[in-house]
Amino acid sequence: MAVHRDERHWVFENLLEPFAVFEANEDHSDFVCLDANAAFARMNGVALSLSKGERVSVMFDHAKTLKEDWMTILKKAFNAEDGNRFKHHSLSSKSVFEVVAHGDGKQCAVLLHDVTASEEEKLGMSTLLASLQEYMQLPPESLDYQAFTDQLVRLSGAKFAALNTYERGGTKTITRAISGPGETIRRAMKTLGFNLIGKEWDVIEERVETIKKNSLLRFDSLYEAASGSISRRQAAIIERLINLGESYVLQITKGKEIIGDFMLFMPKGQPLKNPEIVQIYANQVAIMILRQKAAKRIRYLSYHDALTGLYNRAYLEEAIQRYEERGTAPLSVIMADLDGLKLTNDVFGHDTGDRMLNSFAAILKDVAGGSALIGRLGGDEFIILLEAGDERKTIALAEKIKQRSEETMVEAFPISASVGTGVRGTAAASIEGAIQDAEDAMYHEKFSNAPRIKHAHVDALFESLKAKSYESDAHINTMWRYAERMAVRLDMSEREKNRLHTAIKWHDVGKSSIDEETLVKASPLTDEEWQRMKEHPETGYRIAMTTQKNVGVALDILSHHERFDGRGYPQGLEGEEIPLNARIIAIVDAYEVMRSGRPYNGAKSHEAIVDEFTREKGAQFDPELVDIFLNLLREEDA
């Protein structure tokens, strides 16, 4: 079906994109608009009726930039081949158009298509890639928050932007940078009454949860975007001052971790540009921030002890070298060795041992003060270096450290430390000499006090055990009364009997690591509680090895819950594989428990106890030892 001119003209008139037909004069210095559609008139702000038949030089005489735009477009269109396409960056509207021109040298039809958005996206992506390439070439520890924020302003078209990072476990945010016209920012901060850079804000949980669900949030007002961190009045004043439109909060995240956020404040009437690109950019900023934090952490750990946060040996060696080079004198040295750490680890586990180390480190920092250089040399050894110290003050400081330590309890133990001092009096003296003096004094004190410290720790263990269980002196005395008589029947030597006596006294010392609720529980133990309970022979073995240095006693303690039939714990020993003392302890311990009773099992009669031992001969207990024990009971009844 043929298309009539009127139909073609209707299509031409109703095109959504600007379209016009021009005729050029001989030298192409001016152009006459032969026809145009409504979109052309709207774009240029002229009446459609006035544009037709009018010369470009006259039509746009009111707007210099429009005239320059159209002269440029038409000269390029008339000088190009038919069907030519080219880009034009408009001076008047700051937009980008793709121009399609069809002509015969005398007349030319021109169609304009606005490609500003896609061009901005391409430009934004190009800028993004260039920025990321630049950032990745920087050292890991380098981080320029201001550069991040400035770049985001360029990518997003925002008038102002702020970057906030989440700190202190996500409980606070800190404003790191603000981009935008400097004078306006200063006026805004004057309205607020404080400097925004470095400002710490409380984290509002509702805001965090909202940000987690939406990587990009839009707000109609500054007050809403700030989530009430500033007053409505302040927000309104700043909005008028800066002529703000809508605002955005953009997540800075890595995986599920929120590292911070960008706040974007748009000019009034202007939407956010390149939203997808700015989100990609924010994710890359997150990687950069985490990269810097990791680099800082690595650097921190290279000079600090990971557990206590004190300086480590590597840093201390460098510091000592600096003191030597500067000739620092006088310089005081305090060496400290934490007593009982191994015992604490053996009884209560390494978590408790770590608490003891951290508690002692806190004492050193508190007593020595901020001017001291405090370090952990490794294990349980610490050092303090103090400039401008003298011997008298150094000794007084060492005594204060010991006093504070003894006043501090970790589980059942008071913290105890052996401390020694040394002083470099002049620059001619050696720092190493002062350190050696302090170390010698520390070890002299440690060895001199070792028996007292050991007994103090053991007494603390037993007192703790008595306070939270049934391991009373009466329980031990009853066990020993029968065990001693059995030892006589077995013709044991005095040395063997002394070992048996010690093993009985210490047999349940491993229970000191178990909580009171489990030890005195009247109802059946849970699987987890029972497993914990079954560990006490091994714990007792470690304690005995640490404090008694007696392998025989330690093995007796380790084996006192083994069964003659091999179904005991912890090693499943059978028959005479079980040490003799452990077999004796199993019998006298069971007797005392059955005789006196426990909340989970009442006291038994004499007949019931005899029946129990008779039934368990060769199973739980050594049958020959049971016969000896039952004979002792019969002799008592006679």
**Spatial contact of 69 and 45, defined as CB atoms under 8 Å apart:** no
Helix (H, G, I), strand (E, B) or coil at 238: helix
CATH classification of the domain holding 503:
1.10.3210.10
DSSP state of 311: B
Mean pLDDT of the 513-530 span: 83
Q: Which residue has the higher pLDDT, 330 or 116?
A: 330
* Same domain (yes/no): 504, 371: no
Among 91, 114, 137, the domain boundary falls at 114
Mapped onto helix, strand or coil, the DSSP state of residue 119 is: helix
Torsion, CA 508, CA 514, CA 515, CA 518, rounded to 10: -80
CA geometry: angle 508, 514, 519, nearest 5 deg: 75
| pLDDT beyond 90 at 112 | no
Domain check: are 517 and 387 in the same one? no
What confidence score (pLDDT) does residue 120 get?
64
Within a domain: 306:
no
Report the chain's mean pLDDT, rounded to a whole number: 84
- Do 473 and 500 belong to one domain? yes
Per the document, the length of the chain is 638
Residue 339, domain CATH = 3.30.70.270
Instruction: Answer whether residue 231 is part of any domain.
Output: yes
Residues 51 and 36 sit within 8 Å (Cβ to Cβ): yes
How large is the angle between the packed helices 182-192 and 232-242, nearest 10 degrees? 160
Determine the pLDDT at residue 2. Answer: 40
The pLDDT tens digits for 178-232 are 998 888 888 888 888 888 888 888 877 777 777 777 678 888 888 888 777 788 8
Same domain assignment for residues 474 and 619: yes
- In angstroms, what is the C-alpha Rg of the chain? 43
Higher pLDDT, 125 or 303: 303
Residue 464 belongs to some domain of the structure: no
**176 and 258 inside one domain:** yes
Residues near 599 by beta carbon (within 8 Å), at least 6 away in sequence: 520, 521, 522
Answer with the residue of higher pLDDT: 120 or 611.
611
Say what the pLDDT of residue 51 is.
Answer: 78
Which has more confidence, 305 or 242? Answer: 305
Residues 166 and 181 both lie in one domain: yes
* Domain annotation covers residue 457: no
Q: Is 458 domain-assigned?
A: no
In a domain, 307, yes or no: no
- Among 56, 80, 114, the domain boundary falls at 114
pLDDT in tens, 370-419: 788 999 998 899 999 998 777 888 899 999 999 999 888 887 778 889 99
Of 136-140, 364-368, 405-409, 521-525, which range is least confident? 136-140
Full domain range(s) for residue 412:
313-448
From its phi and psi, is residue 176 left (phi > 0), alpha (psi between -120 and 50) or beta? Answer: alpha
The whole-number pLDDT of residue 392 equals 87
Considering only 216-220, 320-324, 599-603, which range has the smallest mean pLDDT? 599-603
Which residues does 169 contact at the CB level (< 8 Å), separation at least 6? none
pLDDT of 501 reads: 94
Query: For the chain, what is the domain count?
Result: 4
In a domain, 230, yes or no: yes
pLDDT at residue number 471: 72
Residue 506 burial (C-beta neighbours within 10 Å; 0-12, 13-18, 19+):
buried
Task: Quote the pLDDT of residue 3.
Answer: 38
The answer to whether residue 307 scores a pLDDT higher than 50 is yes
Least confident of 123-132, 271-280, 425-434: 123-132
Question: When comparing pLDDT for 472 and 78, which is higher?
Answer: 78
Q: State pLDDT tens for residues 480-519.
A: 999 999 999 999 999 999 999 999 998 988 888 888 788 7
Answer with the residue of higher pLDDT: 95 or 118: 95
104 and 147: one domain? no
Residue 573 within any structural domain of the chain: yes
Which run of H or E residues covers position 394? helix 391-406
**CATH number of the domain encompassing residue 103:** 3.30.450.20
141 and 283 both lie in a single domain: yes
> What is the rounded average pLDDT of the residues 124-150?
65
Within this chain, do residues 128 and 49 fall inside the same structural domain, yes or no?
no
Do 523 and 633 belong together in one domain? yes
Contacts 24+ apart (CB under 8 A), 145-152: 145/176, 145/177, 146/177, 146/179, 148/177, 148/285, 148/288, 149/176, 149/177, 149/178, 149/179, 149/262, 150/179, 151/127, 151/281, 152/179, 152/262, 152/264, 152/278, 152/281, 152/282
Which pTM value belongs to this model? 0.58
Beta-sheet pairing, 373-378 with 381-387: antiparallel
Query: Quick one: tokens of 568?
Result: 């005991």
* Predicted pLDDT at 7: 53
What CATH number should be reported for the domain holding residue 285? 3.30.450.40
Residues 316, 323: Cα–Cα separation, whole Å: 10
The helix/strand count (H/E) of the chain reads as 26, 17
50 pLDDT exceeds 80? no
**Could you tell me which of 478, 513, 430 has the C-alpha nearest to residue 609?**
478
Tell whether 288 and 329 lie within a shared domain.
Answer: no
Residues 207 and 293 in one domain: yes
Last residue of a domain, which of 114, 131, 162? 114
* Average pLDDT of the residues in 469-482: 84
Express each pLDDT in 51-90 by its tens digit.
Answer: 788 888 888 887 888 888 888 888 888 876 666 888 888 7
